[in-house]
Structure 1
Amino acid sequence: MKGDTSIPALPCVELAPTLEFYALLGFEVTYRQQAPNPYAATRRGGAQLHFFGLKGLDPAKAFSTCLIIVDEVEELHARFLDALRKAYGRTPVRGLPRMTRMRKGQTRFTLTDPSGNSLMFIRRDEPSGYGDDENTPATVLGKALKAARRLRDFKGDDAAAAKVLDAALKKPDAGTAKEREQALAEHAELAVALGEIP
């Protein structure tokens, strides 16, 4: 008996640049048509993504999302980051395309393509709740770090994540010295992503 398969079909502004972008990440084109409607199928390992041209698509307002379950994420993130740096000459943390940062032990990251589609790569053995539900932080800073991480990694909302950290950092005795150091580092990363620091 064969198992069910689900393949996302994501909108794109133009097919050619979309396929070029995904080729950078190791996706191969398995099918392509221009007429009567632009459509293409890609594959990377067991992951398949299909794309269709959508007139009037505004990438800045796009909200299509796809989850891709993988065996490991840290090495994959490093490979994607290297390919994107070579292609764009920078670390893509803002604008389009962009990719969330990766810390040791993190179990997921999000890649947003030039058409605004977000692909969340999740480690297959990720603990439930993003791996941080069991250890609920007791301090204001600990809770802020958790909330900021979720806003950044799940919603792609760097501005909201920065506001959460900013509010917690203003409170005296909000957490441990280590939490304050981590919050300051994450706040600085978000400032770069938001274009506040060149």
Structure 2
Amino acid sequence: QAIRHADSFAALDRHKDSGKIRHYAVAVGPDLGWQDEGVASVSERRVPAQIIYSILEQDPARAIIDAATANDVGVFTRVPHASGMLDGTHTKDTVLDETPFGESDHRSYRRLMWMKSAIRKLAAIDFLLENYDATIGQLAIRFCLMPNVVASCTPTITTEEMLDEYVAASDLGRFDAADMTTLDRLYATNFDVDDEPARMKSSVSPTGFVLMDGVTEIEPAAA
């Protein structure tokens, strides 16, 4: 409803016309989900959208990217490292018995079960480290920059070393078509990991949630 609220966008356009702001965009979130909202932003409003996108979490970003491409609107990606799963902190051999995030960490909403599942998926993408002279953190960013409609990628950076590492990702060449095909296949099969479909938030579902297919309604998770 907010995306279709004409008065809000009319006010933003007035500020833009008056010179108070140069540009504005929509941040889709928080958390995964909001596919209908993101698609409406780039297709109905034709306003750039900032979206969550990573090798491990490609939905609903792919639908929004497709809509943005069709409407010649740019998108910005964030959380390319899937809350630390793709920044080199963890490997396929990592064993987690408790969440590594403290209560004050914005990533603390991630459930331990999700993190264990993500670690199992790391084994499936090991081939990227063999095929490219880059860190997993750099490869994660390079993946997010692959769609032509993506204007930028915003990772979480807390040290100067991370800044230097991630900036270098822009110098990497594009992934080979064969590797992208492999990643597409792996994502379609959940990286050969057997776990429950991810829940995504939605303002158009009566329950407030949909499954990763963006269609099936489910009951909200217990508190």
Greater strand fraction, Structure 1 or Structure 2: 1
TM-score, with length taken from structure 1:
0.32
Whose RCO is larger (CA < 8 A, sep 6+)? Answer: 2
